[in-house]
Amino acid sequence: MTSKEIVKKAVGLLDSKKAEDIVVLDIHEVTSLGDYFVIASAGNTTLVKTLAEEVEEKLSAQGVEPRKIEGASSAMWILMDYNDVVIHIFYSETREFYCLERLWADAPKLDVAELLK
């Protein structure tokens, strides 16, 4: 799968499981960390964990394995590293504190509605 296909799949999965405020940042021109950040949040840590498990399970079923997953034990912020796509799933209050969208304000946002089509 290409980076863009992984993003589309992850956004669809997160949306279907009721993730909140999904944002996709195109970071490829502002850093060498990868191509995209997918950022989403949930109102409780149980849902944060469920969202991460869903993404991992469904992408793995398509042969896409994460390089690393961090934060699953606390479920306040789970980071899923898929090489050129990094998925951040936050507990809502933790997301407000770290505000990745502000830190990466130079990265253009993709239209999530278009990705869900």
Closest residue by Cα to residue 10 from 72, 46, 62: 62
Q: What is the pLDDT along the chain (117 residues), one digit of tens a residue?
A: 999 999 999 999 999 999 999 999 999 999 998 999 999 999 999 999 999 999 999 999 999 999 999 999 999 999 999 999 999 999 999 999 999 999 999 999 999 999 999
Q: How far apart are CA 29 and CA 102, in angstroms?
A: 16
- Report strand pairing: 36-42 vs 85-91: parallel
Phi, psi angle pair for 82, to nearest 5°: -110, 50
> What pTM value is reported for the model?
0.96
CATH class of 3-104: alpha beta
- 20-26, strands of its sheet edge to edge: 68-70, 77-82, 85-91, 36-42, 20-26, 109-110
Determine contact, residues 36/27, Cβ cutoff 8 Å.
Answer: yes
